[in-house]
Amino acid sequence: MYNYTLCLIRQNHRLLMLNRDFAPTKGLWNGVGGKREDNETPLECALREAFEETGIELKDAIFKGIVTWEVDGTFSGGMYVFLSELPQDYVYVTPRKINEGILDWKSIDWILSDDNFGVGEMIPLFLPKVLNSNECYEHKCTISNKKITNYTLTPVHHVID
């Protein structure tokens, strides 16, 4: 099992993103999430972290795959990725300062823009499949000298909850 989860919260054509105040993605926009606690399933972790970071009590999230990374030739970790949809009429006012950084709604087009260097480097690689595919994938990123040098996509045939 991997130690981390990422929960992407979507409402219409936008995602609730967190500009983190701390490493490893300090100063970059990312989804909410964090480290699993003992005996916690990935889904339980994703829902707990989403609540702790946003105050939104999500009822469910859909498993969308795994992101793994190898840094300078050594496997370094992975995270389970979940997607949760908020109803159109749900009101969540941003920007909002929290302990982890600043929460704000960002349009999906903005996040995926080729000239946007303000999001985590892996996000534009895996986000289109997470948002638009009914399939689950392992998104493997190879990082060398703090830059992604390779990205592979492999179908995942088991569902995580």
Please report, for the domain that includes residue 24, its CATH number. 3.90.79.10
Strand residue runs (E) in the chain = 4-11, 14-20, 29-30, 32-35, 62-71, 74-85, 96-98, 101-107, 136-144, 147-156
Compute the average pLDDT of residues 149-155.
Answer: 96
Contact 131, 125 (CB under 8 A): no
86-108 confidence digits (pLDDT tens) = 999 999 999 999 999 999 999 99
Give the chain's domain count: 1
**Is residue 127 assigned to a domain?**
yes
pLDDT above 70 for 83: yes
pTM of the model: 0.94
Compute the average pLDDT of residues 117-139.
Answer: 96
**Is residue 26 assigned to a domain?**
yes
**Separation CA 150–CA 143 (nearest Å):** 7
Residue 56: domain span:
4-156
pLDDT above 90 for 75: no
Average pLDDT over the chain reads 95
pLDDT above 80 for 109: yes
11-70 confidence digits (pLDDT tens) = 999 999 999 999 888 999 999 999 999 999 999 999 999 999 999 999 999 999 999 999
**Is residue 161 assigned to a domain?**
no
**CA diameter of the chain:** 46
- pLDDT at position 161: 64
